[in-house]
Amino acid sequence: MPIFFFRNDDVNILDQELVEVTRRCTEQGVPISHAVEPANVTDEAVAWLREEKAKDPRLIEITQHGYDHELRDRGEFGGDRSFEDALADLQRGRDILLEKFDGDFLSALNFPFGIYNQNAMKAADAAGFRIICSHFNARKSRRAMYTAGRALRMGQILGKHISYNLDFYPRTGMFAVDVSISFIDRYIGPHGSNTCTFHSLDEIKRRVEMWMPHTPVIGLLFHHRFHHQPEHMELITDAINWLKTIEGAEFLNIGEVYDRFCPNPGNGFRNG
Ligand SMILES: [Zn+2]
């Protein structure tokens, strides 16, 4: 301990940013879990990911990122989207990824824009996902809200996410493995742009140190398309090099976190 993992969102086309962000991790022996958009991923991107995965399967992990990443009234799976509608898209997406990656797919889902409603959570469970990846915020006010929400077995309070990090999401068989720290400070421009401001290395260090007392597992989040300048790539390498200096630091993929922390992995143990 501590354990770190890296998730990379919005995987669709094969571009230089995807290649380099992936290699900045794998060349250091650090796994990266790609959250792939089933409706948008190209055959070229799939072929490349499979090729990379074949070199060392634990370093590349394939998970599902919603279905088409289209903004609806609230995110892709929020607002008043129905259970049936969410289930159809999640299942369709899962089938696409299972087929394209020939079954070499971790049964893990994260919702685009971090937005979902309770129908979507139920649909994810019904579609057969075993791991749900959301967001864990270690700020004191958020932790207080999580504690209250967990005591009441609520998934959300007033539409706000309750993190069940390293526990089962209520009334589902899904185990939560949440990310805590994004490399991005602020998005700039419309949905789909590739402009943002990144956190500095010092800010990332500060957050890791702040989060460590509150969770044994810290997930760090990339969106590869924003890393189009050399200094954005250096930030990744610098962060990994610094994390490696932390005593006892381990780098796992999401499936390994699940296997280590879930009391009954794979069996769809139902909690409440
Ligand atoms: Zn996304």
Q: How far is the CA of 128 from the centre of ligand 1 (A)?
A: 21
Ligand 1 centroid – CA 10 distance (Å): 5
Q: Is the peptide bond before 2 cis (omega within 30 degrees of 0)?
A: yes
Locate all alpha helices (DSSP H) within the chain, ordered by sequence: 16-26, 43-55, 83-100, 118-126, 140-151, 201-211, 230-244, 254-261
Q: What is the average per-residue pLDDT within 167-178? A: 94
CA of 47 to the centre of ligand 1 (A): 21
| pLDDT computed for residue 272 by the predictor | 37
pLDDT of residue 267: 55
pLDDT at 266: 62
Span from the CA of 43 to the centroid of ligand 1 (angstroms): 19
Write down the pLDDT at residue 191.
Answer: 82
How far is the centre of ligand 1, averaged over its atoms, from the C-alpha of 65 (Å)? 7
CB 188 within 8 A of CB 195: yes
Encoded tokens for 6: 């890296």
- Ligand 1 centroid to residue 85 C-alpha, Å: 19
Average pLDDT on 138-146 reads: 91
Q: How far is the CA of 37 from the centre of ligand 1 (A)?
A: 8
The rounded Å distance from CA 76 to ligand 1 centre is 9
Of 135 and 193, the one with more pLDDT: 135
Is the pLDDT reported for residue 113 higher than 80?
yes
268 torsion bin: left (phi>0), alpha (psi -120 to 50), beta (else): left
- What are the beta bridge partners of residue 34? 8, 62
Give the Cβ contact number of residue 271 at 10 Å: 16
Say if residue 77's pLDDT is above 90: yes
Per-residue confidence at 192, pLDDT binned at 50, 70, 90?
A: confident
All structural domains of the chain: 3-261 (3.20.20.370)
The three-point CA angle 83-67-135 to 5° equals 80
Query: What tokens does 151 get?
Result: 């005591």
Q: 11 C-alpha to center of ligand 1: Å?
A: 8
Q: 214-261 pLDDT, tens per residue?
A: 999 999 999 999 999 999 999 999 999 999 999 999 999 999 999 999
State the Cα angle at 85 between 72 and 79, rounded to 5°: 40
Phi, psi at 81, each rounded to 5°:
-60, 135
- Residue 269 predicted with pLDDT over 70: no
- Please tell me the pTM assigned to this model: 0.95
CA angle 106, 109, 110 (to 5 degrees): 140
Where is pLDDT greater, at 47 or 137? 47
Question: What is the predicted pLDDT for the residue at 271?
Answer: 43
Q: Distance from the CA of 68 to the center of ligand 1, in angstroms? A: 10
What 3-state DSSP class applies to 6? strand
- Distance from residue 263's CA to the centre of ligand 1 (Å): 29
